[in-house]
Structures are given as structure tokens and as C-alpha cells.
Structure 1
């Protein structure tokens, strides 16, 4: 296993070679994030009365859908390139998957899955929301390994002033220039969001059914909107509109509206509900 190609250069994106098989750091990190999120979700699910088998069964369907939707989302907005290189459409191991796409795929599967199991989708969403944002924070390090999700050109001195480790600074040397580590900003924002939700989740009479999930949506979309504006490798509509910023605004406003509507209907508190209630 070779972590660095050589001292002072970028990290080798390939974690391990087994003959013709190459295992990429990107895949290792994403898989690790999924396992951590699943483990934590199972523990919380037991607290609110959702059997662990439901999470394992769900992930078997959700993971393939999330990957497919994440890749499709990315390819659609980069069609100018992929229409000329169709063989690369399935090359997810090289990066190029969109978090918003994966969330759309996973949510669609969850809707059908919860209906088939007579599980409250809102409670399921409340259980997984904090672990999903943690997985997103971990997953950004997969982008780091592939030198993706970066910002505008900056100086070596600026990166040093952030007190970043040398290996991060070296990895931010992309296409002949140092770049702002927006992947790192988003990772920190996501992990902070996880900590906040975990600290607040079990406080009685704070969150009603579905509100942990809606809080996650607001937290993530707000941070993503700001950080996306710093990136120079964003998916674009035309040459001026960042896709993720548009979607972030829609999600943020939609989550606030749902939060207010559901409060008026006085849904049960998170810790005082039957998990099978829809």
C-alpha cells in the first residue's frame, strides 16, 4: 500500500493493487462512511423501536440507487463531456458523483421501503439524518484523495495560515497552483452538524416528528450554498448558475416551510412516538 507517491507530492489515489484490480481511496472512504452511518443508525433505531433488520434491508436497496442517482446527476450536468466520452460514464471509482443525486436516490427508496414495512418515514428520516451528514463529512475526504471539490487559486502561505497539515497543503496543489480546500470546509461543517444534532436530538420537547431531518436539511443546504460559491469545479447551468446553490435554496426554504406547517399540526415529540405510525 502506497499512501504518498513521493515526498512532497500528491497522494496516490490508489490504496491497493491486487494484480489487475485497483482499490481506490475514494471507494474505501465512501464505504467506511456508509458502514459508520449504518452502525449508528441501527443503534438509534433500537431506541425508537425500529428493528435493526430494517436498516440492513434498506441499505441493500438504497446504496445501489444512491450510487446510480449520484452518477446520473453528475453526468447529466456534465453531458457536454460525457457525450464525447461515453465509456467513462460508469467510471465512478474516478470520482464524479454528486451528493445531492445520492440523497435523491436514497430518499426515493426510503419512501417505498417504509411504506412496504409500515414504518413512519419521518421517524426513519429522523434516525438517519445525523448519521447521513456525518457520512457526508467523511465522504468529502474521498474528494480530497481525487483532488476534487476545490476552490479558487490561492497561495501556499494562505494554506499554512489555516494551520493545515502538510499532506493537505500538498494535495491542494492542483493543475499547477494551490487551491482553497473547500472540501475541508464542507467536511468540517458536516461534522459540526452531526455533533449539534446528536447533542440536541434526545432533549425532550425540542424536536417533533420529522424535525431532526428538516433541521439537517436546513443545516446542510445553508452550508453547501456558501461553500459551493467558493468552488471552481461546480456543476453549472449555463456558465453562471451553480446547480447545487439553486437546489440548496429550494431545500432550505422548503424545509423551513414544512417545519412551520408541521408545528402547527402538533405532531408527536420525537422521543414519545410509535415508530410504526405514519
Structure 2
């Protein structure tokens, strides 16, 4: 068994102001994504996107935050927030859903691109290849907070988490950081140029978004077998967690989008 590193979730305090590791992970993730998208936009000489990046990024950040919070409220704790509606927007109290954030960022991106006459599918290709970087740092933040820990186990690398009782558990946050972050990034980043290659007609814009949806869904579905289900929900259907149920819909959506973009390219 490994010893869980006791890291203070608060990195720095200045009077009433507290800078938390988790918040810093979000900042690092957004900054890294911005830089990587900028590199790609310049490489592919997409000047129209370059002129809109700051405003588009603001829309996407708002989409992630609002979608992530509302997703948590709806998917994971609807009864509580039905009786405490004043806490729905209290993001500082914890509770964010990746699947909700994914829906929020896609809708925000689609809205902005349509409003500014940008090609949504091209923009999605550039951005989605950078998303795993943010996922990696987000899961590291979860690990530092000692939250979203895994199920009880006897594997040699198990850890006893501060809020997880006295039994050793899977460090499932690190599993997710590896699969959703490193593995998925290497896959998408290695394929990022393919939709821009006009000779590859079987790789239309939007294909990377479809691959991301399928890839993340598969990674998350797998890790959920090692992650402790949410206490207020437990298992939902046939011993599947809410995360697995949502990931199944995500994989289905990715498959439908993949087929749809392929068919659109042949018309």
C-alpha cells in the first residue's frame, strides 16, 4: 500500500483570499489549451479564428462552468437542489459534472461559431485535440483534494484517502489522468492534421470531435469500474454507475457523429 500524500488543498492564502490547487489546475488547463489551439490555428493559417479566439474562449469557459454545474445538479443530485434552488449556482461548494461541461462547451461553441460565421466543425477539431490536457490537470486537482477516490482494493498501489474511511482504495483519479489525459491526448494530437489534409476525404472536419466523444466515453466507462460510485446515487442500472450511463450515451453520440460526418463528406 502507498501512503497518500497529504497536500493542503489551499496553495496560498492572503487574508480572506485563498488560492486552491484545484482552481490552479483549471487555470493551467485553460492556458495550455489556449496555447495549443493558437499553435494549430497559426499552423493551418486560419486567420478568421485567430481574430475571434479571445471571445470564443470566453464563451467556451462559461459553457464549461455553467454546463458542468447544471450537469451535476441534474444528473447527480436533482432532489437536493430541487429543495435548495438557491445553491444551484454555488460552484464554490463543489459539484461539477464533466458530461454536463461537455454539453455546455459544445453548445457554447456552436452558438458562437454560428453567430460569427465560423466553421464549427473546423474549430471543434482544433479545440478537442487540446481538451485532454485540461482533463489531466483536473484529475490531478481531484487527487490533491482527495475526492472522487476509487473502490476498496488490496492492490499494492492502493491508498487510504482522508475522506474515504480506513480501508485502502484505488487512486482512480490517477487512472483517469492517465487514460483521459495522456492516452487520449497522444491519440488526438497525432491525428490533428488529418482533417486539414484535402487528400484525405475520409477524414472530414468534425471527425476528431467524434473520436474524442468515443475515446473519452470508453476511458471513463472503464475507470468507473474502479471508482467509488457517488454516495447519493450508488449504482443506477445493472450495476452501472451514473458516470458509465452518461459515458454510454457519449459513445453513442460520438458514433452517430462519426457516421454523419463521413456521409456529409461524400455528398
Query: Contact between 1:173 and 1:179, CA under 8 Å: does it hold in 2?
Result: no
8 Å contact from structure 1 (residues 11, 171) kept in 2 = no
Task: Find the residue that maps to 2:203 and give its secondary structure.
Answer: coil
Q: Distance in 2 between matches of 1:198 and 1:126?
A: 10
Match of 1:260 in 2: 259
* 5+ long unaligned stretches in structure 1: 1-6, 161-168, 269-278
Q: Which runs of 5+ in 2 are unaligned?
A: none
- Match of 1:36? 32
Q: Please list, as runs of the form range in 1=range in 2, the aligned pairs for 1:1-278 lying within 5 A after superposition.
A: 10-48=6-44, 49=46, 50-76=48-74, 77-82=76-81, 89-155=88-154, 158-159=156-157, 169=159, 174-190=164-180, 191-203=182-194, 204=197, 205=200, 207-234=203-230, 239-241=235-237, 242-266=241-265
Moved more, 257-266 or 140-149: 257-266
Quickly say closer, same or farther: Cα 1:202–1:239, change in 2 above 3 A.
closer
Q: Partners of 2:192 and 2:5 in 1: how far apart?
A: 42
Once the 2 structures are TM-superposed, how far is the Cα of residue 33 of structure 1 from its aligned partner?
0.5
Displacement of 1:193: 1.0
Question: What RMSD in Å do the two structures reach over aligned CA positions?
Answer: 2.7
Q: Structure 1 residue 174: deviation in Å? A: 2.9
**CA spacing shift, 1:146–1:59, aligned 2, 3 Å:** same
In structure 2, what is the Cα distance between the partners aligned to 1:53 and 1:235? 46
Q: C-alpha displacement at 1:31, in angstroms? A: 1.2
Contact 2:192/2:208 (8 A) holds in 1: yes
Contact 1:221 1:251 in 2 (8 A): yes
The one-character-per-residue Cα deviations of 1:156-201 (angstroms, maximum 9, x if unpaired) are: x6217xxxxxxxx465773222220111111111221111111122
How far apart, CA to CA, are the structure 1 residues paired with 2:4 and 2:230? 27
Cα distance 1:51–1:79, how it changes in 2: closer, same or farther (>3 A)?
Answer: closer
Q: TM-score, normalised by structure 2?
A: 0.83
Indicate if the aligned counterparts of 2:129 and 2:192 stay in contact, CA closer than 8 A: no
Q: Secondary structure at the match of 1:209?
A: coil
Q: Which moved more, 1:83-92 or 1:69-78?
A: 83-92
Sort the Cα spacing of 1:246 and 1:17 in 2 relative to 1 into closer, same or farther, 3 A.
same
Q: 1:95 to 1:146 in 2, by over 3 A?
A: farther
Q: Distance in 2 between matches of 1:256 and 1:8?
A: 39
Pair 1:235–1:176, CA change in 2 (3 A):
closer
Once residues 22 and 122 of structure 2 are traced to their aligned partners in structure 1, the CA distance between those partners, rounded to angstroms, is 31
Asked if the contact 1:10–1:170 (Cα under 8 Å) also holds between the matched residues in 2, the reply is no
State the SS of the aligned residue for 2:156. helix
Q: Distance in 2 between matches of 1:37 and 1:171?
A: 30
Distance in 2, matches of 1:144 and 1:257, equals 34
Distance (whole Å) between structure 2 residues aligned to residue 267 and residue 39 of structure 1? 33
